[in-house]
Amino acid sequence: MICGIILASGFSRRFGKDKLIQEIDGEKIIEKIIKQAKNSNFKELIIVYRNYYIRAIADKYNIKSVHNIDANKGQSSSLKKGILANEQDCNGFMFLMGDQPFLKSEHINRLIDEFRNNNSTKIIVPRYLGVNGSPVIFPTCLKECLLNISGDTGGKKVINKNLEKVHFVNFEEAIVGKDIDTLDELRQIKDDYYE
């Protein structure tokens, strides 16, 4: 059983404004990932937010939300808030980025299936045309390691310290793992895929 944790409390500094509420194909970026996560095989789904309008969107889909008052401490603060908010008996945590609009429930479920097929003991890392990406699943045996990280590094330190536990899952489409960091990237995606 997997707990899905959507990380949505960043500052979008490179974007210049909150990228999560920008629209692609008439829908907010964060709403796209929420809908796909909601339709995936999670035992529990949590969103960690900074701005209250993100919480309002999560409420619309009846998703448990956690306010990250420590967002200025970096991505590690979001991971910790999500883990500590988990109330279900889960054997793994999947961390989903709020800015991956092309990730679908079938991709999420494939990662969950790989986790189960590996006895729920491996770190599941997706690769998009050979490039490591998100979302990553960590087994609960690494919970304390995740709770001890700091700064804006996310789970990379935990992965690097536990390489023997890593299991890669390959996807043939790079766009599936695409995240959006800048306004130019958003414009390019709209030009390439929607206009």
Residue 44: give its domain's CATH number: 3.90.550.10
Range of the domain at 149: 2-193
What is the dihedral sign for C-alpha 140, 138, 12, 25? negative
Whether residue 96 contacts residue 37, with contact meaning beta carbons closer than 8 Å, is answered with yes
Q: Give the phi and the psi of residue 118 in degrees, each rounded to 5.
A: -105, 30
CA-only gyration radius of the chain, Å? 16
CA distance 194 to 50: 29
Reported pTM? 0.92
- Res. 93 pLDDT band, cuts 50 70 90: very high
Cα 180 to the center of its chain, rounded Å: 13
Residue 187 pLDDT greater than 70, yes or no = yes
What is the predicted pLDDT for the residue at 161?
Answer: 93
* Run of H or E residues at 24: strand 23-24
Lowest-pLDDT range of 17-21, 88-92, 121-125, 139-143: 17-21
Domain count, the chain: 1
- Could you give the 3-state DSSP secondary structure of residue 72? helix
Residue keyed to tokens 């990932």: 33
Strands 92-97 and 27-28: unpaired
- Residue 67, strand partner residues: 49
**Cβ neighbours around 52 below 10 Å, total:** 10
